[in-house]
Amino acid sequence: MEWIVASSVAAMTAAGIYLVLSLRTFTVVIGLTLLTYATNLFLFTTGRLAVNKPDIITSLDAPHSDPIPQALVLTAIVISFAMTAIILVMAVRGYFESGGDHVDLLGPEEVVARERQ
């Protein structure tokens, strides 16, 4: 089970990095979202996979799951949602300002040529 979770984190991270390196803003946003999902899954699995164990410590001798990674994942979900919303707003604004959704920088000659059109 741990091998499956580790390989899924690796696959999501690889796909996220591939999408972040693309030239379109929508795929960059999807790539960042995949990276946040991979990070959340990684944080959640740092508490070890415990099946049918209580989340709250009732006694020190009883087995329990670690509640700290669960709290970190909840915080990371909120932060990633806010980050995705901000990046989407910036991508839409950039699309309407520049007339395209490319993420590459324009040189001075290309800016002058675009202003003439």
* Domain ranges, residue 79: 2-116
Q: Which residues contact 80 (CB under 8 A, 6 or more apart)?
A: 33, 36, 37, 39, 40
Number of domains in the chain: 1
Backbone dihedral region of 64: left (phi > 0), alpha (psi from -120 to 50 degrees) or beta? beta
Distance CA 117, CA 108 (A): 15
CATH number of the domain enclosing 76:
1.10.287
The answer, as to whether pTM is greater than 0.85, is no
pLDDT band at 35 (very low <50, low <70, confident <90, very high): very high
Per-residue pLDDT at 107: 58
pLDDT band at 14 (very low <50, low <70, confident <90, very high): very high
pLDDT in tens, 48-76: 666 676 666 677 777 666 778 888 889 99
102 SS3 class: strand
Per-residue pLDDT at 20: 92
24 SS3 class: strand
The tokens for 82 are: 């806010």
